[in-house]
């Protein structure tokens, strides 16, 4: 195992300030950095010695032998323990859970995001199948802390085993129900979860609290339960390694990986790279970004995906359709460059609303606003190819016009979908409505 | 792209096409529909077929029976519960002679009589007796498509106010049948003699003028080559001490001054779109700013110092030198005996209190390189006393309609002769005449505003226009412009400045193909295209695409509609000459007499230049 690198920015908010120095001995659960504003505590994920404290990270040389015990957090109220444990949203957003749960929902809803919508990732569903009780305990704690009367699991119907397990586990829980989702992207977007489960369409600027609800990821709930039941600090992460890996493109799920472990180490644990990858994606196919072997994972890393090589377009002209559901313009341009194409036109989906932070949010996630105008722009700008990052519905709409105009369509996830053997995002063949009978 | 409920209302009668895949069973709403604004392109490229497509108003709220993909036209077989269209009207532009208003409601509230007409066709609303305060106002809604909403002020409107005559202007016409040269400038009956040797004096009066030549062009020799025509001017003078716009003006019939010229290197003044060539091939006869066929031209050919053809002093010197000759004719004209008057015209400037008050804003060129306008010279279209609008900073200057018709603008136009307004244009300005004589409106004045070179200055002057229009408290405004391109920036800004103050505004410009607007804003909703050319271009035929009577009546009808709160259909995406024809037909039908259209360049003998460059 190589060195552990713990980034000081693991979540939404300002980077944390280190409270250790080079040479300090640390244990699993030793507090090593604290928030400077909005943020969450950061702990060592291993036994070892601090080798270096850099501006953006703390580097720890782990001991050869690693015990399971950890330094427990102090006892306190449930909310205090969640805060002290440094739990953050593990679905990818990384919002400090202690802050989120501090809202009084006044009899509202805890909405459990079990959509695991990024194709290829499996660790959330696997956790429901294997650690259902822990997740449900987490749900109950959250309901108690935030004064919610009800909780709803939002899970895709295709995950039959997980749904069955949940149904069994919830048979005596009148306050907790299951809402089945269709298998389209994006269903795990926070406001999509609210819309699907409660029928309330929120504005991009609104938080779920506006619908008297909190949306919380499956793994986060397990971490909440661990913090309260085991006084365990948040220093480990569940994730899926999948892709161009020796032994095939089956998913490798790793539970409780120490935060700070390098991408390279995880790929080795999964079997090692099967030849030179086109790129290595950290995160999901839609929202992930290219990474390197020596990059460390954080509390929000969900996937590591080495991909097949990119096609070579020999400098052909490319139009980029940016939306809120896929990569940002930088990521899209990155892929266009890796395909050896020349970006000559950039359009933005009509529903991609820009937030104050500069991030894009979809006004109606998963419901297309029409795309033909963008295709017309690309045609006008003489694009030969276009690359899109759109959701299932919008991709389908693009396919309704672009090919007829002679534009060749790539989806930003194509190379990943080919790598993991998943159908490409093009036409939509399934219904957005799903029968709720289990 | 999906549309909003508001867009749905605007496009109620346009085809309903799904913007995205929609599943069976949904209730069709605005979010499912594609924006009709882009259909033309889609149909053109074969991506969309609209046969049998229902309209937006028909499908809203109806149920979709079948899962359909994006760009599927919604036809009767896939929709359940489509609404019947509000009125049995197939083609919106077409007007049945009589159509009963549907869904008409009236209500009196808060001193306002509100009349809402769901579907309006050829409606006369008369409010005869005293409701509240007593009204005697007839609001005529010209036949038009869509919703008409007329709000007639009740309590505020005073009883039948009388027209008020502000001032009057008399034009005495003297006939000229022949122009000759002689020892002195004088009239002998209907023969005008121009003093021999006046050319040298005229040339000598201007430092920048190298030489000046006079050609008397009679109808027999219209097929004569000429350098570019810089201006066409009436020969007119004031009687006594009368100022421009009042009193008596004497004017010669059958003869006009024509200024032409080049620089010493033979470069056309305004080369880059100039009208040099055979006169009969390059003049659009009978345009307000052009000669009439049959008139004699006293044409000066002024050679100015090399390199000054694109600077303000050069062309001004050519005009000033020509005016030396015109002035001598004016002096002779002053002495002519009253018995030689062949015709007398009387113009009265009337105000019509209680009628819709309107202002005409005329954007004139003031870029300061070569195009300028002298405002309010002492003599009609003279030089002396006129202030160059460039020197005035291009700020708006208010004039009376009679000042306009009495030659208060001496125009020094530049490149692009087809869409530029010559001095004679103002003398016969159709929009001013039409609006002044229309008893349904109250024309309060004609506001000239220059079009400066720099954007910051453009916005400076257009903000003044806005303030002035605000202070005038008008119900409606026209904005006209000449030329195209750069001047459209301030043209657009004038619309914005006026429109944002809640005043309906109708714009007039040459646009068509070549002059398509380069900028726009949400207030540019009522536009009249001055184009007459066959292919919608600046064809370098003098005056071809300038504002004519047929444009003025369309603009007036449109402004009346706008002031009445009626919808005017959005322009089509691409220039379509049929829009004008349809509007003309509509107006003709309402008036009960067809509107005659002027001829275009196709009526002229084909010039070599036109053949090579344009047609």
Using one digit for the tens of pLDDT, what is the confidence trace for A369-411? 999 999 999 998 999 999 999 999 999 999 999 998 999 999 9
Touching A: B residues 11-50, CB under 8 Å: 19-21, 23, 31, 34-35, 38, 41-42, 45-47
Q: Which residues of B touch A369 (CB under 8 A)?
A: 1-2, 19-20, 31
> Which pLDDT value is given to residue B139?
31
Asked whether residue B134 carries a pLDDT value surpassing 50, the answer given is no
Burial of B309 (0-12, 13-18, 19+ CB in 10 A): buried
**Spatial CB neighbours of B310, under 8 Å, sequence gap ≥ 6:** B269, B270, B369, B370
pLDDT band at residue A147 under the 50/70/90 scheme: very high
Asked whether residue B433 carries a pLDDT value surpassing 50, the answer given is yes
Among B2, B31, B47, the residue with its CB nearest the CB of A401 is B47
Ranges A395-399, B114-118, B422-426, B447-451: which has the least confidence: B114-118
pLDDT band at residue B505 under the 50/70/90 scheme: very high
The string of pLDDT tens digits covering residues A115-143 is 999 999 999 999 999 999 999 999 999 99
pLDDT band at residue B595 under the 50/70/90 scheme: confident
pLDDT band at residue B593 under the 50/70/90 scheme: confident
Other Cβ atoms within 10 Å of B443 Cβ, number: 26
Are the Cβ atoms of B70 and A372 closer than 8 angstroms?
Answer: yes
Spatial contact of B527 and B571, defined as CB atoms under 8 Å apart: yes
pLDDT band at residue B268 under the 50/70/90 scheme: confident
Which of helix, strand or coil describes residue B304?
strand
Mutual orientation of helices A132-146 and A160-169 as an angle, nearest 10°?
A: 60
Check for a shared fold between B5-80 and B355-613: no
Touching A: B residues 404-443, CB under 8 Å: none
Are the Cβ atoms of B70 and A369 closer than 8 angstroms?
Answer: no
> Which pLDDT value is given to residue B91?
28
Q: How many helices (H) and strands (E) does chain B have?
A: 14, 29
Asked whether residue B157 carries a pLDDT value surpassing 50, the answer given is no
- How far A373 CA sits from the closest chain B CA (Å)? 7
Measured in degrees and rounded to the nearest 5, phi and psi for residue A373 equal -60, -40
> Which pLDDT value is given to residue B129?
37
Which of helix, strand or coil describes residue B545?
coil
The string of pLDDT tens digits covering residues B200-259 is 999 999 999 999 999 999 999 999 999 989 999 999 999 999 999 999 999 999 999 999
Among A370, A396, A428, the residue with its CB nearest the CB of B2 is A370
> Which pLDDT value is given to residue B112?
42
In this prediction, residues B524-549 reach a mean pLDDT of 92
Q: Which residues of A touch B20 (CB under 8 A)?
A: 367-371, 393-394, 396-397, 400
Residues present in chain B in total: 615
For chain B, what percent of residues have pLDDT higher than 90?
Answer: 63
> Which pLDDT value is given to residue B613?
77
What is the Cα–Cα distance from B446 to A121, expressed in whole angstroms?
72
In this prediction, residues A159-178 reach a mean pLDDT of 96
> Which pLDDT value is given to residue B585?
85
Question: Rounded to two decimals, what is the model's pTM?
Answer: 0.59
Q: Which residues of B touch A368 (CB under 8 A)?
A: 2, 19-21, 70
Determine which helix (DSSP H) or strand (DSSP E) holds A336, and give its type and residue range: helix A329-338
DSSP result, B2-43: B--HHHHHHTTTSBPBBSS-B-TTPBP-GGGBB-GGGHHHHH
Other Cβ atoms within 10 Å of B480 Cβ, number: 27
> Which pLDDT value is given to residue B78?
93
> Which pLDDT value is given to residue B344?
96
> Which pLDDT value is given to residue B118?
47
Asked whether residue B511 carries a pLDDT value surpassing 60, the answer given is yes
Asked whether residue A3 carries a pLDDT value surpassing 60, the answer given is yes
In this prediction, residues A94-123 reach a mean pLDDT of 96
The string of pLDDT tens digits covering residues B14-34 is 899 999 999 999 999 999 999
Q: How far is CA B184 from CA A100, B319, B331, in A?
A: 100, 22, 12
Asked whether residue B137 carries a pLDDT value surpassing 50, the answer given is no
Among A367, A369, A428, the residue with its CB nearest the CB of B1 is A369
Spatial contact of A57 and A22, defined as CB atoms under 8 Å apart: no
- How far A288 CA sits from the closest chain B CA (Å)? 27
Region for residue B36 given its phi and psi (left: phi exceeds 0; alpha: psi -120 to 50; beta: otherwise): alpha
Q: How far is it between the farthest Cα atoms of chain B?
A: 95
- How far A226 CA sits from the closest chain B CA (Å)? 43
Q: Which residues of B touch A350 (CB under 8 A)?
A: 1-2
Asked whether residue B370 carries a pLDDT value surpassing 90, the answer given is no
CB-based burial, A31-54: b 16+ in 10 Å, e otherwise: bbbebeeebbbbbbbbbbbbbebe
**Spatial CB neighbours of B171, under 8 Å, sequence gap ≥ 6:** B236, B248, B249, B250, B251, B344, B345, B346, B347
Q: Chain A: which residues have CB within 8 Å of chain B?
A: 350, 364, 367-373, 376, 393-394, 396-397, 400-401, 404-405, 428, 431-433
Of residues B538 and B273, more confidence is placed in B538
Are the Cβ atoms of A370 and B21 closer than 8 angstroms?
Answer: no
Of residues A421 and B134, more confidence is placed in A421
Asked whether residue B321 carries a pLDDT value surpassing 60, the answer given is yes
Are the Cβ atoms of A371 and B23 closer than 8 angstroms?
Answer: no
Asked whether residue B95 carries a pLDDT value surpassing 60, the answer given is no
Are the Cβ atoms of A371 and B70 closer than 8 angstroms?
Answer: yes
- Say if strands A42-43 and A25-26 run parallel, antiparallel, or are unpaired: unpaired
Superfamily (CATH) of domain B355-613: Response regulator (3.40.50.2300)
Ranges A66-75, B79-88, B146-155: which has the least confidence: B146-155
Q: Give me the residue label for tokens 């002024």.
A: B302
Are the Cβ atoms of A397 and B35 closer than 8 angstroms?
Answer: no
- How far A350 CA sits from the closest chain B CA (Å)? 7
Among A372, A396, A428, the residue with its CB nearest the CB of B42 is A372
Mean residue pLDDT of chain A comes to 95
> What ranges do the domains of chain B cover?
5-80, 102-153, 167-343, 355-613
> Which pLDDT value is given to residue B485?
85
Choose among B202, B191, B257, B266: nearest CA to B230. Answer: B257
> Which pLDDT value is given to residue B255?
97
Class of the CATH-defined domain B5-80: alpha beta
User: Which two three-digit tokens encode residue A377?
Assistant: 């722009």
Q: Which residues of B touch A370 (CB under 8 A)?
A: 1-2, 19-20, 34-35, 70
In this prediction, residues A83-92 reach a mean pLDDT of 94
Are the Cβ atoms of A368 and B23 closer than 8 angstroms?
Answer: no
Q: How far is CA B494 from CA B361, B447, B456, B469, B517, in A?
A: 9, 12, 14, 10, 14
Ranges A126-130, B94-98, B580-584: which has the least confidence: B94-98
Other Cβ atoms within 10 Å of B105 Cβ, number: 10
> Which pLDDT value is given to residue B375?
97
In this prediction, residues A332-355 reach a mean pLDDT of 95
Torsion sign across C-alpha atoms B455, B461, B465, B468: positive
Are the Cβ atoms of A376 and B38 closer than 8 angstroms?
Answer: yes
Q: Which residues of B touch A323 (CB under 8 A)?
A: none
- Domains of chain A (ranges; CATH) run 4-62 (2.40.50), 78-229 (3.40.50.11540), 236-306 (3.10.20.600), 316-420 (3.40.50.10700)
Ranges B131-140, B158-167, B270-279, B291-300: which has the least confidence: B131-140
Mean residue pLDDT of chain B comes to 85
Q: Which residues of A touch B26 (CB under 8 A)?
A: none
Ranges B7-21, B127-141, B390-404, B520-534: which has the least confidence: B127-141
The string of pLDDT tens digits covering residues A247-289 is 999 999 999 999 999 999 999 999 999 999 999 999 999 999 9
- How far A192 CA sits from the closest chain B CA (Å)? 17
Asked whether residue B574 carries a pLDDT value surpassing 90, the answer given is no
Determine which helix (DSSP H) or strand (DSSP E) holds A160, and give its type and residue range: helix A160-169
What is the Cα–Cα distance from B308 to B301, expressed in whole angstroms?
15
């Amino acid at each position: 195992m190589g060195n552990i690198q713990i980034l000081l920015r693991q979540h939404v908010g300002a980077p944390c300030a280190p409270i250790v120095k080079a040479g300090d001995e640390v244990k699993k659960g030793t507090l090593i950095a604290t928030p400077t504003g909005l943020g969450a505590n950061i702990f060592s994920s291993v036994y070892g010695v601090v080798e270096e404290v850099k501006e953006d990270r703390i580097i720890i040389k782990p001991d050869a032998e690693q015990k399971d015990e950890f330094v427990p957090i102090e006892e306190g109220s449930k909310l205090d323990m969640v805060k002290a444990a440094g739990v953050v949203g593990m679905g990818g957003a990384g919002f400090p859970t202690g802050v989120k749960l501090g809202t009084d929902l006044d009899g509202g809803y805890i909405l459990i995001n079990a959509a695991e919508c990024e194709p290829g990732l499996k660790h959330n569903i696997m956790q429901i199948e294997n650690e259902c009780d822990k997740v449900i305990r987490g749900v109950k704690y959250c309901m108690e802390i935030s004064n919610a009367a009800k909780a709803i699991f939002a899970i895709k119907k295709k995950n039959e085993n997980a749904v069955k397990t949940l149904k069994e586990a919830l048979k005596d829980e009148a306050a907790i129900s299951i809402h089945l989702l269709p298998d389209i992207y994006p269903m795990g977007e926070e406001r999509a979860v609210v819309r699907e489960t409660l029928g309330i369409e929120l504005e991009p600027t609104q938080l779920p609290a506006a619908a008297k609800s909190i949306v919380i990821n499956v793994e986060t709930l397990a971490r909440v339960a661990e913090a309260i039941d085991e006084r365990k600090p948040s220093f480990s992460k569940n994730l899926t390694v999948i892709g161009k890996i020796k032994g095939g493109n089956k998913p490798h799920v790793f539970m409780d990986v120490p935060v700070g472990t390098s991408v390279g180490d995880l790929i080795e644990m999964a079997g090692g790279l099967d030849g030179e990858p086109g790129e290595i994606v950290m995160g999901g196919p839609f929202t992930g970004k290219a990474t390197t072997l020596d990059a460390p994972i954080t509390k929000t890393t969900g996937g590591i995906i080495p991909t097949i090589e990119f096609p070579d377009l020999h400098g052909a002209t490319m139009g980029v359709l940016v939306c809120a559901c896929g990569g940002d313009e930088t990521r899209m341009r990155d892929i266009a460059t890796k395909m050896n194409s020349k970006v000559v036109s950039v359009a933005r989906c009509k529903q991609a609303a820009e937030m104050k932070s500069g991030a894009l949010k979809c006004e109606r996630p998963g419901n297309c606003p029409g795309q033909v105008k963008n295709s017309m722009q690309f045609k006008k700008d003489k694009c030969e190819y276009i690359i899109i990052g759109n959701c299932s519905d919008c991709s389908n709409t693009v396919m309704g016009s672009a090919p007829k105009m002679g534009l060749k369509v790539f989806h930003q996830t194509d190379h990943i979908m080919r790598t993991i053997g998943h159908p490409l995002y093009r036409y939509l063949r399934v219904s957005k409505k799903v029968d709720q009978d289990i | 792209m999906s549309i909003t409920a508001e867009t749905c209302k605007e496009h109620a009668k346009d085809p309903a096409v799904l913007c995205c895949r929609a599943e069976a069973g949904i209730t069709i709403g605005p979010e499912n529909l594609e924006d009709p604004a882009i259909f033309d392109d889609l149909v053109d490229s074969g991506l969309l077929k609209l046969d049998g497509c229902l309209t937006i108003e028909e499908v809203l709220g109806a149920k979709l029976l079948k899962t359909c993909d994006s760009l599927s036209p919604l036809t009767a077989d896939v929709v359940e519960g489509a609404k019947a269209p509000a009125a049995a009207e197939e083609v919106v532009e077409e007007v049945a002679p009589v159509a009963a208003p549907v869904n008409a409601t009236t209500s009196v509230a808060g001193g306002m009589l509100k009349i809402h007409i769901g579907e309006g066709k050829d409606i006369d609303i008369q409010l005869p007796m005293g409701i509240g305060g007593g009204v005697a106002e007839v609001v005529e809604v010209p036949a038009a498509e869509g919703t008409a909403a007329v709000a007639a002020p009740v309590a505020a409107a005073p009883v039948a106010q009388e027209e008020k005559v502000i001032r009057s202007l008399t034009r005495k016409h003297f006939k000229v049948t022949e122009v000759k040269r002689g020892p002195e400038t004088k009239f002998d009956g209907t023969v005008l003699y121009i003093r021999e040797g006046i050319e040298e004096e005229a040339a000598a009066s201007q430092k920048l003028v190298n030489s000046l030549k006079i050609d008397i062009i009679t109808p027999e020799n219209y097929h004569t080559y000429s350098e570019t025509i810089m201006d066409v001017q009436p020969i007119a003078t004031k009687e006594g001490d009368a100022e421009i716009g009042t009193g008596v003006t004497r004017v010669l019939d059958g003869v006009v001054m024509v200024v032409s010229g080049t620089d010493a290197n033979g470069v056309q003044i305004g080369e880059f779109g100039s009208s040099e060539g055979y006169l009969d091939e390059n003049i659009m006869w009978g345009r307000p700013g052009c000669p009439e066929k049959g008139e004699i031209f006293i044409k000066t050919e002024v050679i100015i110092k090399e390199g000054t053809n694109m600077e303000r002093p050069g062309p001004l010197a050519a005009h000033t030198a020509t005016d030396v000759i015109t002035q001598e004719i004016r002096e002779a004209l002053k002495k002519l005996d009253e018995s030689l008057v062949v015709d007398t015209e009387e113009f009265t400037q009337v105000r019509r209190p209680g009628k819709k008050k309107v202002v005409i804003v005329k954007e004139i060129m003031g870029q300061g390189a070569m195009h300028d306008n002298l405002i309010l010279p002492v003599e009609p279209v003279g030089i002396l006393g006129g202030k160059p609008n460039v020197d005035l900073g291009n700020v708006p200057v208010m004039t009376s309609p009679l000042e306009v018709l009495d030659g208060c603008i001496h125009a020094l136009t530049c490149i692009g002769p087809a869409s530029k307004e010559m001095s004679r244009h103002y003398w016969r300005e159709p929009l001013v005449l039409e609006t002044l004589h229309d008893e349904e409106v109250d024309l309060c004045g004609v506001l000239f505003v220059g079009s400066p070179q720099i954007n910051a200055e453009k916005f400076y002057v257009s903000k003044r226009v806005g303030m002035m229009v605000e202070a005038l408290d008008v119900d409606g405004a026209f904005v006209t412009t000449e030329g195209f391109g750069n001047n459209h920036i301030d043209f657009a800004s004038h619309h914005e400045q006026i429109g944002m103050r809640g005043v309906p505004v109708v714009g007039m410009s040459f646009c068509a193909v070549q002059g398509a607007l380069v900028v726009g804003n949400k207030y540019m909703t009522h536009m009249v295209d001055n184009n007459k050319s066959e292919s919608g271009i600046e064809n370098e035929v003098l005056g071809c695409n300038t504002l004519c009577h047929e444009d003025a009546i369309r603009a007036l009808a449109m402004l009346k509609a706008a002031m009445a709160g009626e919808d005017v259909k959005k322009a089509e995406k691409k220039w379509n000459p049929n829009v004008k024809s349809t509007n003309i037909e509509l107006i003709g039908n309402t008036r009960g007499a067809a509107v005659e259209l002027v001829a275009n360049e196709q009526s002229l003998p084909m010039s070599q230049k036109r053949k090579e460059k344009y047609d």
